[in-house]
Structure 1
Amino acid sequence: MDKNIIGTKVIAQIGILVNDIEKTSQAYADFFGVECPKWSLTDTVDVAKTEYRGQPSEARAKLAFFHMGSLQLELIEPDHHPSTWREYLDEHGEGPHHIAFVIDGMQEKIMRMERNQMPLVQKGEYTGGRYAYMDTLQDLKVILELLENDK
């Protein structure tokens, strides 16, 4: 396996799948003694350009973010369209889904990971950037998310 494939070792985010974002967000807010964040809905496929396993997907999810110093905690409640979120929640239940890293050069990083038997599972756009979920379960025991923000 290549070394330093993504060019960083700083974890930016931990993503957790949930069935009820409002209930779970409130539980986290109470636990940490912070204000409960409002959730937002991911963009539609025409804006997000969501692809799951190489095919366009109507998948959307409710997202809530807790800013925990240098790390962001993301709660994800997926809809029922095909996505890595829905597949993982159905197979494993609620809990950790991914760890995310902010990177530069999305296409090059995806190609490097795929050359190292870590295939792209899902990708899409968000306001200000793009994301890619890579199947790193075999070697790293968790999905990695690459985040690239526009300059």
Structure 2
Amino acid sequence: MFRRIHHLGYAVRDAAAAAEFYRLRFGAAPGEPEPVEEQGIVAVMFPVGESRIELVQPTRPDSPVGKFLDKRGEGFHHVAFEVEDLDAALAELDSAGLDLIDRRPRVGAGGLRMAFIHPHDAFGVLTELVESGEHKE
């Protein structure tokens, strides 16, 4: 089902400051901040090999990332795996009884179709599935 790790998401209070840290300290090339209104975040991505790091800053305290920061503080938030067919992957996981936060795909950062699996069904890790056309034949 998984093609690769698409990105690792880090919850941060200030995406601009975090992006600048990674740029200065590690030579990363962060992209432009991208608001994702539906999720209540601003996302900044930068490449690391074939994968990316996504810095996610809440735009409102009641967003999922805002609640995460209040409860756990800054740090690792989620892993996103690229899948070839998101609808098929969700159907397979649903039929296996996994608790899907998103039963239907929605649009996330970069305009990609994505969906989340609840952490209690993935050993405590919030898991995102991303359908990306980057590697489709």
Q: One fold, TM greater than 0.5?
A: yes
Q: Using the alignment, how far apart are the partners of 2:89 and 2:114 within structure 1? A: 11
Q: Using the alignment, how far apart are the partners of 1:128 and 1:20 within structure 2? A: 22
Q: Using the alignment, how far apart are the partners of 1:75 and 1:110 within structure 2? A: 25
In the TM superposition, residue 81 of structure 1 has moved relative to its aligned partner by: 6.4
- When you count helix as a share of all residues, which structure comes out higher? 2
1:14-69 CA-partner distances (Å, limit 9, x unpaired): 00011111111111111212445331212x4xxxxx4xxxxxxxx42111111011
Alignment pair present for 1:134 and 2:117: yes
Q: Conserved in 2, the CA contact under 8 Å of 1:130 and 1:148?
A: yes
Alignment pair present for 1:65 and 2:48: no
Q: Using the alignment, how far apart are the partners of 1:133 and 1:98 within structure 2? A: 9
Match of 2:21 in 1: 27
Q: Conserved in 2, the CA contact under 8 Å of 1:128 and 1:149?
A: no
1:69-148, aligned counterparts within 5 Å? 69-80=49-60, 82-122=62-102, 124-126=106-108, 128-148=111-131
Q: Conserved in 1, the CA contact under 8 Å of 2:3 and 2:82?
A: no
Amino acid at match of 2:32: K
Amino acid at match of 1:66: F
Q: Percent identity?
A: 24
TM-score (norm 2): 0.79
In the TM superposition, residue 86 of structure 1 has moved relative to its aligned partner by: 2.8
Segments ≥4 residues shifted beyond 4 Å: none
The secondary structure found in structure 1 opposite 2:32 is coil
Quote the RMSD (CA, aligned, Å): 2.4
Equivalent pairs, count: 131
Unaligned runs of at least 5 residues, structure 1: 1-6, 45-49, 51-58
In the TM superposition, residue 133 of structure 1 has moved relative to its aligned partner by: 1.2
